[in-house]
Amino acid sequence: MLGSHHPYAASDPRTREALTTLPVYNRLPFVPVRASGCDIITTDGRRILDLYGGHAVAALGYGHPGLVDAISDQCQRLLFQSNAVALDIRARAAEKLLQVAPADLSRVFFVNSGAEANENALRMACVVTRRDKVLAITHGFHGRTAAAGAVTWNSQRWYGFPAQPFDVEFIPRDDCDAAGRMIDSDVAAVIVEPVQGIAGACDLSHEFLRTLRKRTQQCGALLIADEVQSGMGRSGHFFAVQAHGIGPDILTSAKALGGGIPCGAVLCTEDVATHFGSGDLGSTFGGGPVVAAAIVAVIEAIENGKLLENVREREAQIREQCVRGPVKRIQGMGLLLGLVCDRPALEVRNALLQFDILTGTSSDPDVLRILAPLVLDSHHVDHLAQALDALAPSID
Ligand code: PLP
C-alpha cells in the first residue's frame, strides 16, 4: 500500500504508477526519459550503460536508424491491417525469418509475445500428437499464460489457475539418462530453452540437447525450442540450437524479434504445419504491418551490421576481462551471460548501478545476468571490467 511516506514526489512517475498500476513489479531506482545506442538517459541527467536491454528486447540498442526509419515509414504507409488480408511486408518478415532459422523450419505463425508463442506451440504439439503430457526442464521459464506457466519450473508460486491444461513433468537439467527414461510414447512435446535465461543464462549441454532431439524423434514427440530469450542473434548465432546443429519441430521467438516492438512468432516444420487449417489458430495483432517492418529491419541490421560476429567478439572479451572483483566464473552463450558471483547478485547489481551500469539478476541468487544490446562496443566491456574491479572485496 502506498502511504503518506512514499519516498518520491507526487508528480514522480514512480509515485503515480504506484497509485495506478498493479504492484507486481519491483521498479529500478531511476526513470528513463530517452535512450541512444547502449545508453539510457534518466530524468536526473544520468547516462546509464544498459547491459540488460529491457529484458533482452533491445537487440539493436536504442534509436537504431534502420529500425526507427522502417517503423516510421510503415506507420505512415499502412499502420494496421489484420490477418484477414495478405501483406507484402508480412510475407517479407516471414521469408526473412525462415531464411535465418534452422533449415527444416518452413512456416511461421505470428503472435504478440513469448508466452503467446509458447502457448500456441504447446497447443500445436497436443494437436499434432494427440497426446496430453508435456515434458519441460527444471529451472526453465516459458511465460505466465495457462500452458506456458504450466511448463515453467516453480510456477506454483504464482500460477493461480485451478488446473493445468495437460500433464507436466520436469526433466532434471542436463540429465541425459533421465531424459532417455522420461521421454516415451505418451509425450506430446519436450519444451526447452537451449540457454536458460531467467535461470541465470545457464547453457544446457550439447549432449543433453542432442538426447532430447534423438529421443523425441524415436518416440514421435515434438521438440519445442523456446528461443524467446536466446534467439535473434543473442547467442552469437541467429538461434542457439543452430550452434548445436539441432533442428527442433517448433521454435518460438519474441523479445528481440521486433527490437522493442511487441511481437512473437512460432516457427514449425512442414510436417507440423500440415495439421493446421483455416480457423485453427489466430491472432488480431500478430504479424501486423508495423511489427512485420520491425522484424525485417532487425534481421537486416543483424546481417548488415555483422552483429553475430560482434556478439561473439564481445562474449570473448567479457569472458577474458570480467572474471574479476565479485565474479568467479561466467556461464551462458553470446550476450546471454551469467556472471556467477561470490556474493548475492542483487548486491552486485545495485553496486554496479552506482557506477551507472545496469545489469540484471536471475532466479539464481548468485548469478548476475548480462543481456546487452548486440551492438555493444568493446569500450562498454572495458567500463564493466573497471567497475567490477572497483567493487569492494567480499566480506568472507
Ligand atoms: N520464454 C522465455 C525463455 C522467456 O525468457 C520469457 C520471458 O522472459 C518468455 C518465454 C515469456 O515472454 P513474454 O514475457 O514476452 O510473454
Task: Report the pLDDT value the prediction gives residue 7, as an integer from 0 to 100.
Answer: 79
Task: Report the alpha-carbon distance of residue 368 to residue 142 in Å, rounded.
Answer: 20
Q: Residue 395 has what pLDDT?
A: 63
Q: What is the pLDDT of residue 95?
A: 98
Q: Name all domains of the chain by residue range, CATH numbers in brackets.
A: 7-51+306-389 (3.90.1150.10), 66-304 (3.40.640.10)
Residue that has been written with the C-alpha cell 505466465 in this structure: 144
- Quote the CA–CA distance of 261 and 254 in Å, as a whole number: 10
| Residue 147 Cβ contacting ligand 1 at under 6 Å | no
Q: Which position has the grid cell 504507409? A: 77
Please indicate whether residue 226, judged by its CB atom, sits closer than 6 Å to ligand 1.
yes
Question: To test the ligand 1 pocket, which listed residue (25, 52, 255) has its Cβ within 8 A of the most ligand atoms?
Answer: 255
Q: How far is CA 134 from CA 19, 146, 277, 296, in A?
A: 40, 13, 23, 33
- Write the DSSP symbol of residue 155: G
> 110, 113, 142, 361: which to mutate for ligand 1, most atoms within 8 A of CB?
142
Is the distance from CB of 108 to CB of 267 less than 8 angstroms?
yes
Ligand 1 pocket, 229 CB below 6 A?
A: yes
At 394, list the grid cell: 567480499
**Is the CB of 115 within 6 Å of ligand 1?**
yes
Please identify, by atom number, the ligand 1 atom nearest to the C-alpha of residue 140. 3
Say what the pLDDT of residue 396 is: 62
What is the spatial distance between Cα 239 and Cα 255, in angstroms, rounded to a whole number? Answer: 13
Give the nearest ligand 1 atom to 145 CA: 16
What is the CA(118)–ligand 1 centre distance, in A?
Answer: 9
Q: Per 3-state DSSP, what percentage of the chain is helix, strand, and coil (rounded to 5)?
A: 40, 20, 40
pLDDT score, position 392: 74
| Dist CA 369 CA 270 (whole Å) | 36
From the CA of 255, give the closest atom in ligand 1: 15
Cell of 193: 530453452
Mean pLDDT, consecutive 10-residue stretches, the chain (396 aa), reads: 67 95 96 98 97 97 98 98 98 98 98 98 98 98 98 98 98 98 98 98 98 98 98 98 98 98 98 98 98 98 98 98 97 98 98 98 98 98 97 73
Residue with cell 541468487: 365
pLDDT at 5: 60
